[in-house]
Amino acid sequence: MQLNQETIINQDLKENIVIEEIKVFAPATVANVGCAFDILGFALENIGDEMIFRKTSTPGIKIISKGLGNLPTNPEKNVAGVVAIEMMKNEDSSFGLEIEINKKINPGSGIGSSAASASGAAFGISKLLNRNYSTHELIHFAMQGEKLASGAEHADNVAPAITGEFALIRGYHPLDMIVIKAPKNLYCTVIHPQIEIKTKEAREMLPKEVALKDAVIQWGNVAGLIAGLHQSNYQLIGRSLQDIIIEPQRAKLIPGFYNLKMAAMDSGALGCSISGSGPSVFALSEGIETANAIKAAFDKVYFDKGIDYHLFVSAIGKTGSRLIQ
C-alpha cells in the first residue's frame, strides 16, 4: 500500500480500541514445601496478583505495571511478557495484547511473585483468546517466564499457581504433574521479612552433588509428605516436613531463621521451612488456631529485629489462577 500524508495522519490518529477485556487473579505459592526441592508447591488462598488482559486493535504486546516492584515494561524482559510472546507466536498478528499487572506479591519474596505473573499470563491469554490449552501446556508456557526470572525452568511455583492445591512435578522431561488435594484442615502461616533474595543467586549457592545417605533421608521425607497429604495424616506430614539438603544452605540468608523455626514448632506447627528460595518462611499446621498462634510467635521473634516484615495466615488455595470481576 502506498502511504500518502493523509493515510499516515489517519493511522497516527487511529485509536487503540479494546476489543475484549478480562481480569485474572494469580495466587502466591509456596514451593519446595521443605524436602521436595523443585518438585512440589502449593497455592495460597486470596493472596496474589491481579492482572487485566486486553485484546486490542493495535498489534503488539504492551505491559502496564502497577502495584509493588518496578517491573520492566519491555515484554522481552518481563515475566508475563515472555509468556505472551511465546503464546502469541501461535496467533495471527492482526490484533494486540495489553497486560496490566497489579502486583501485590513483592518480587524476591519467596512466595512465587514471578510465578504468579507467568501463570496468570498463561491462564489469562488462553482465556482471553478462547484457546483450549491443557493444564500441562499452560504450565509449559508459564515456565518460560520462570526461566527468565530464575534462570531455571522449574515448575514448583507455576504449577500450583495454575492448578491450586498441591502440585507435584513427578518429572520434567516430559512434564508430568499431579494435583494433590490438601487435607481440609491444613493451614499455612507465612512471615515475609522485607529483604530481597534473588532466586537465581539462591540456586547458584546450592551444592551440585548430594551424598547418597542424605538423598535417602530426603527421599523418605518426600515420599512420607506425599503419603501424609493423601491420607490427611497430619502427624506424617509433620514428620516428613524436613529438608536436610537445601534448607541448611539457604538458612544463612534469612536473619533469625532457626529462631523462627523453633518458635513455630513450640507453637504446635507440623513443620516449618523456607518458602521457595526465601526470604519468606512458612509453617504448616492443623487448624487455624495453631496457625494464628504461630503467626503471633513469628511476630515475637521479629518484633525487635529492625527488619520490616509481613505476616499472614492462609488456607491452601483450592483454585489457581482464575477469572475475577
The Cα 293–Cα 310 span in angstroms is 15
Asked whether the beta carbons of 195 and 305 are under 8 A apart, the reply is no
Beta carbon of residue 78, minimum distance to ligand HSE (angstroms, whole number): 17
Catalytic site residue from 50, 98, 146, 247? 146
Which residue's beta carbon is nearest to the bound ligand HSE?
276
Distance, in Å, from the CA atom of 261 to the CA atom of 254, rounded to the nearest integer, reads: 11
Active site residue 15: no
How many other CB atoms are found less than 10 A from the CB of residue 131? 13
How many residues in the shown chain lie near ligand HSE by CB under 6 A? 13
199 binds ligand HSE (CB under 6 A): yes
Can you tell me the distance from the alpha carbon of 93 to that of 7, in angstroms, rounded to the nearest whole number?
A: 21
- Least separation in angstroms between residue 200's CB and ligand HSE is 9
As measured in angstroms, the least distance from the Cβ of 157 to ligand HSE is: 5
x/- string (CB under 6 A) for ligand HSE, residues 140-159? Answer: ----------x---x-xx--
The one-letter amino acid code at 264 reads A
Q: Which helix (H) or strand (E) holds 64?
A: strand 60-67
Q: Are 99 and 84 in contact (CB under 8 A)?
A: yes
Q: Is 203 in the site for ligand HSE (CB under 6 A)?
A: yes
Q: Which residues contact 60 (CB under 8 A, 6 or more apart)?
A: 96, 97
Rule CB under 6 A: is residue 31 a binding residue for ligand HSE? yes
Residue 199 falls in the annotated catalytic set: yes
Burial category of 275 from C-beta neighbours within 10 Å (exposed 0-12, middle 13-18, buried 19 and up): buried
Candidate segments 32-40, 96-104, 180-188, 313-321, binder of ligand HSE by CB under 6 A: 32-40
CB of 56 to ligand HSE, least distance (A): 32
Q: Contact positions toward ligand HSE, by CB under 6 A?
A: 31-32, 37-38, 150, 154, 156-157, 199, 202-203, 276-277
User: Which residues carry out catalysis?
Assistant: 146, 199
